[in-house]
A and B are shown apart, each in its own frame.
Chain A
Amino acid sequence: METIFTLQAFMLHTKNITYVLMVAALIGITGFWLFLTEHDDE
């Protein structure tokens, strides 16, 4: 595990990962919504 010494380094590290995850999550939830509503018109 990478050692983090300062709050600045901690925030930079966690936010970097969180922003990447958020992009993946937005794409994922859109795909899930399309999967969920695919048969709504039937």
Chain B
Amino acid sequence: MSDKTATTGQPIFSPFNIVAGFILLVGGIITILRFTQGLDAVTNLSDDNPWGIWIGFDLLVGVALAAGGFVTSATVYIFGMKQYHAAVRPAILTGFLGYALVVLALHYDVGRPWRLPYPFIMQRGTTSLLFEVAACVALYLTVLFIEFSPAALEWLGLKRARDIVIKLTILLTIFGVVLSTLHQSSLGALFLIAPSKLHPLWYTPYLPIYFFVTAVIAGLSMVIFESSLSHRFFSHKMDAVHLAGKDTVPLGFGKAAALVLAGYFIIKVIGISAGNTWHYLATGYGAWYLVELFGFVALPAFLYAVGVRDKNITLIRWTAALTVVGIVVNRFNICLVAFNWHLPAGERYFPHWMEIGISVFIVTLGVVVYRFIVTRMPVLYEHPYDDVP
């Protein structure tokens, strides 16, 4: 057997492949355990803590970080900022994979995959936020699939089909923005039902707005973060247009992220004021809240601003990574840390190692599929259109 793959010329037993292969193998075994032995065998979930990291990380963080797709396509096609066009396809691909993996991860938590269409055919839960989230995610996943399909169609040489899909670009972008606005905010609204369970500093009627605004911040930061990784590992796949966008995208998106973060900081403080929860800031939870507010909101806003002013691309990229970590911290705080804060320590939730294993498995799967696609399809370079028959 050849030790090199036929298409990429890379060695099969590279460090990346070995590590990814091991994670996927362990993930596969845990998957079998989960679907044959049930939740109890692989999780620390309980009646008090029915939502663990499969919801807090895989779903809430996954959906937020996948917002780069609608943010970038809206920037380019609705606001007309064509200088960021090179970032659209990688962002759409990241968004599509992100949402696809969110749906996959949801199966682990909910179980019974054959019941996935139940919200649409078996009951009429149209007043439920979960119904709205399910509908929006299903529709938006379809929109992202169609938005990304021109790259696959160019790869397959199907020019006529590709031309038809390209004509739908504006329509799909508008759909994407509308659907994202709806379900990103609804994920925050899910927690409005639990005012007695969520700590008062995190519980606020503004939660839906917070979730939507942080999704925009996550989308902008993920595009910068993903772009920096692509330029590092896939620069040999990029054409001149994409290589020229190396600085344009971080500077433009960094500026937008700085301003949105500053706005988010303001509405977070307004949230404390409107709820009159100032006195909680002097507690342990308050200290952690201030770490989130200043360490993962105010600090990135300032660092982005300094990076943009000084045109310091390295600083902007590190700030994007810090902001992405901040989104993870925010969703963990709302779903896990500040949730059930009244419970005694012994009854609090901490994830089972197999829950963490599945989350790592899902992320690794996304990285492997992303790598597979960008090394084959015209994502980081323009397809030689004239060569398409």
The tally of CB-CB contacts under 8 A between chains A and B is: 42
The residue in chain B whose Cβ has the minimal distance to the Cβ of A19 is B273
Residues of A within 8 A of B124 (CB): none
**Chain A 1-23 residues near chain B, CB threshold 8 A:** 1, 4, 10, 13-14, 17-18, 21-22
Q: Does B116 contact A (CB under 8 A)?
A: no
Instruction: Point out the residue from A4, A21, A29, A32 that lies within 8 Å of B273, measured CB to CB.
Output: A21
Residues of A within 8 A of B258 (CB): 32, 36
A34 to B: closest C-beta gap in Å? 10
A27 to B: closest C-beta gap in Å? 11
Q: Classify the secondary structure of A's interface with B.
A: helix
**Chain B 252-279 residues near chain A, CB threshold 8 A:** 255, 258-259, 262-263, 266, 269-270, 273-276, 279
Task: Give the number of residues in B that approach A within 8 Å (Cβ atoms).
Answer: 19
Instruction: Point out the residue from A13, A17, A22, A33 that lies within 8 Å of B259, measured CB to CB.
Output: A33
**Beta-carbon contact of B255 and A36 below 8 Å:** yes
Q: Does B308 contact A (CB under 8 A)?
A: yes
Bound-complex Cα distance A13 to B258 (A): 31
B348 to A: closest C-beta gap in Å? 27
B268 to A: closest C-beta gap in Å? 11
B90 to A: closest C-beta gap in Å? 26
- The proximity string for A residues 23-42 relative to B, scoring 1 for CB distances below 8 Å and 0 otherwise, is 00100110011011011000
B197 to A: closest C-beta gap in Å? 22
The residue in chain B whose Cβ has the minimal distance to the Cβ of A14 is B276
The residue in chain B whose Cβ has the minimal distance to the Cβ of A33 is B259
**Beta-carbon contact of A36 and B276 below 8 Å:** no
Residues of A within 8 A of B269 (CB): 21, 25
Bound-complex Cα distance A34 to B262 (A): 13
- The proximity string for B residues 266-298 relative to A, scoring 1 for CB distances below 8 Å and 0 otherwise, is 100110011110010000000000000000000
**Beta-carbon contact of B308 and A36 below 8 Å:** yes
Q: Does B309 contact A (CB under 8 A)?
A: yes
Q: With A32-B305, A36-B255, A38-B309 known to touch, is A17 a contact of B263 (CB < 8 Å)?
A: no
Residues of B within 8 A of A18 (CB): 270, 273-274
Bound-complex Cα distance A21 to B258 (A): 20
B298 to A: closest C-beta gap in Å? 10
Residues of B within 8 A of A13 (CB): 276
Bound-complex Cα distance A25 to B258 (A): 15
Interface residue ranges, B against A (CB under 8 Å): 255, 258-259, 262-263, 266, 269-270, 273-276, 279, 301, 305, 308-311
Enumerate 15 A-B pairs (CB-CB under 8 Å) in ascending A order. A10-B276, A13-B276, A14-B273, A14-B276, A17-B273, A18-B270, A21-B270, A21-B273, A22-B270, A29-B266, A32-B259, A32-B301, A36-B305, A39-B309, A39-B310
Given contacts A33-B259, A36-B259, list 13 more A-B pairs with CB under 8 A: A1-B279, A13-B276, A14-B273, A14-B275, A21-B270, A22-B270, A25-B266, A28-B266, A29-B263, A32-B259, A35-B305, A36-B309, A38-B309
